[in-house]
Amino acid sequence: METFVIHGGKPLFGEIAVSGAKNAALAIIPAAILVDGVCRIENIPCVSDVIIQLDILRQLGAKVRSMSPTVVEIDCRGMKNKKAPDEMTRRIRASYYLLGALLGHYHYAEVALPGGCNFGGVRPIDQHIKGFEALGAVVRQEKGYVTANAEAGLLGGNVYLDVVSVGATMNIMLAAVLAEGQTVIENAAKEPHIVDLANFLNSMGADIMGAGTDVIKIRGVEGLSGGVYSIIPDQIEAGTYLAAVAAAGGSLLIKNVIPKHLDCITAKLSEMGVEIEEYDEAVRVTRRGPLTRVNIKTLPYPGFPTDMQPQMTVVLSLAAGTSIVTEGVWDNRYRYVDELRRMGAHIQVDGRVAVVEGVERLTGATVRACDLRAGAAMVIAGLAAEGETVIEEVHHIERGYEALVDKLRRVGADIVRSSKPDDVRAIPKAK
């Protein structure tokens, strides 16, 4: 089993460059299916979810060439297979974007029900399906597969989302770009990666207006042609390093960011007494004194991001006083709290609310990365804690953080990736 071993208590100093946004890349890669030409995509993050998404496209028959660790060229002309390979699609949640992209181009898609982080209970896709149906597709879910079929082609339609869903907003955009007529998505999500997907599609010839607001209008076009596009920086990766300095101390220049995308996070950190200086494409974060308690409620963008909730809860566990964290997006995103308690945090959870009583220090322990952001939270806790922290199941963290260990080591963290024998092998067999 791969682990991270951290000897905490060392402040972080120096510079970290943020990689491309995972959640934008996961939608933009399948969007290449809609393009009649070669898409050169730059600033691709080298993380396992993205590698799987690229492999799925290869298995569907696309030509995918890595030009460098952060640049790929994708050519989906000649792609014949419209059934996504189920062993791979079940491994990542974002495989659901194949539905919108395949349906949009071929009017037929068949995708195994997606996997990914298991913190939202059922994690429904009813809003995605509602959107496809509004465009004239017949959608069926059976034997673990979702099939969407629009033999007569897709016709633009109006969709009012019942919940603000990032995935549904992007999936409906994908299905609608080549549909006949206009599609309107109301109550759309506004996350930066939604704007990024719209910018990618528009740069290839699509006609999408309003991305970044809650009404998106998509006028169907005849076809998209190839081009070059660079993915935006990862807002959550940047936020994670901001939180790491807030918890462990020090001063970091976080480069390759869009400071505006970080406002919801930097505003909270400033309230807590962390110093933030913004530059054009960088943010400096400095923690000198004690942390002040604050309350946090996660909401769709521009609210405080749910994908930063576990990391900020670690910071709050070190702030003087009692903070209330309310999870406004997912049903079950506090599984990591048990692990954090093992490190000395005082946190009580009741449904979607966590009451965090600040402690003076955390202490190292062996803990588990329950999911991607929970794992990032464990890293932050380990960096701030006294003594040794061993984090198990780090494959969850590597789904979304490029070169996390290297980036942290370069700014003074004592963290190594290490192999630990699996338990079954470690326990001698009884004779």
Q: So which residues are the catalytic ones?
A: 117
Residue 150 and residue 136 in contact, taking contact as beta carbons nearer than 8 Å: yes
**Residue 93 CA to its chain's centroid (Å):** 10
Phi, psi of 2 (to 5 degrees): -85, 135
Compare residues 226 and 401 and give the one whose CB is closer to ligand EPZ. 401
Compare residues 7 and 352 and give the one whose CB is closer to ligand EPZ. 352
Looking at residues 231 to 260 of the shown chain, list those that interact with ligand EPZ (rule: CB under 6 A).
none
> Concatenated DSSP letters for 377-419?
HHHHHHHHSBSEEEEE-THHHHTT-TTHHHHHHHTT-EEEEEE
Q: What is the contact mask toward ligand EPZ in residues 145 to 164, using x (rule: CB under 6 A)? A: ------------------x-
Contacts of 155 (CB under 8 A, 6+ apart): 135, 136, 179, 180, 181
Instruction: Work out which of 128, 368, 396, 407 binds ligand EPZ, going by CB under 6 A.
Output: 128
Which helix (H) or strand (E) segment is 263 a member of? helix 263-271
Compare residues 189 and 362 and give the one whose CB is closer to ligand EPZ. 189
**Residue 71 CA to its chain's centroid (Å):** 19
Q: What is the contact mask toward ligand EPZ in residues 263 to 302, using x (rule: CB under 6 A)? A: ----------------------------------------
Nearest to 318 by CA among 399, 243, 391, 368: 243
Residue 241 and residue 260: Cα distance in Å, rounded?
16
Compare residues 311 and 389 and give the one whose CB is closer to ligand EPZ. 311
Contacts of 63 (CB under 8 A, 6+ apart): 73, 74, 75, 76, 78
Q: What is the contact mask toward ligand EPZ in residues 67 to 106, using x (rule: CB under 6 A)? A: --------------------------xx------------
Instruction: Work out which of 101, 125, 173, 347 binds ligand EPZ, going by CB under 6 A.
Output: 125
In the complex, minimum distance from the CB of residue 215 to ligand EPZ, in angstroms, rounded to a whole number: 17
In the complex, minimum distance from the CB of residue 414 to ligand EPZ, in angstroms, rounded to a whole number: 26
Compare residues 128 and 287 and give the one whose CB is closer to ligand EPZ. 128
Residue 150 and residue 99 in contact, taking contact as beta carbons nearer than 8 Å: no
212's torsion region: left (phi>0), alpha (psi -120 to 50) or beta? Answer: left
Compare residues 3 and 169 and give the one whose CB is closer to ligand EPZ. 169
The dihedral built from the CA positions of residue 52, 54, 59 and 64, taken in this order, carries a sign that is negative
Instruction: Work out which of 8, 185, 400, 404 binds ligand EPZ, going by CB under 6 A.
Output: 400
Residue 195 and residue 201: Cα distance in Å, rounded?
10
Calculated CA dihedral for residues 169, 171, 176, 178, nearest 10 degrees: 140
Q: Residue 127, interface with ligand EPZ (CB under 6 A)?
A: yes
Compare residues 52 and 206 and give the one whose CB is closer to ligand EPZ. 52
Looking at residues 7 to 66 of the shown chain, list those that interact with ligand EPZ (rule: CB under 6 A).
23, 26
SS3 95: helix
Looking at residues 362 to 391 of the shown chain, list those that interact with ligand EPZ (rule: CB under 6 A).
372-373
Compare residues 172 and 319 and give the one whose CB is closer to ligand EPZ. 172
Nearest to 316 by CA among 274, 275, 276: 274
In the complex, minimum distance from the CB of residue 71 to ligand EPZ, in angstroms, rounded to a whole number: 21
Q: Which window, 123-131, 219-227, 266-274, 354-362, contacts ligand EPZ (CB under 6 A)?
A: 123-131
In the complex, minimum distance from the CB of residue 12 to ligand EPZ, in angstroms, rounded to a whole number: 22
In the complex, minimum distance from the CB of residue 44 to ligand EPZ, in angstroms, rounded to a whole number: 15
| 258 CB burial (10 A radius; 0-12, 13-18, 19+) | middle
The CB density around residue 366, as the number of other CB atoms within 10 Å, is 15
Q: Give the binding-site size for ligand EPZ (rule: CB under 6 A).
A: 25
In the complex, minimum distance from the CB of residue 131 to ligand EPZ, in angstroms, rounded to a whole number: 9
Instruction: Work out which of 72, 79, 102, 166 binds ligand EPZ, going by CB under 6 A.
Output: 166
Q: Which window, 12-20, 98-106, 126-134, 270-278, contacts ligand EPZ (CB under 6 A)?
A: 126-134
Looking at residues 298 to 357 of the shown chain, list those that interact with ligand EPZ (rule: CB under 6 A).
306-307, 329-330
Residue 313 and residue 359: Cα distance in Å, rounded?
12
The CB density around residue 330, as the number of other CB atoms within 10 Å, is 17
Residues lying near ligand EPZ in the complex (CB under 6 A): 23, 26, 93-94, 117, 120, 123-128, 163, 165-168, 189, 306-307, 329-330, 372-373, 400
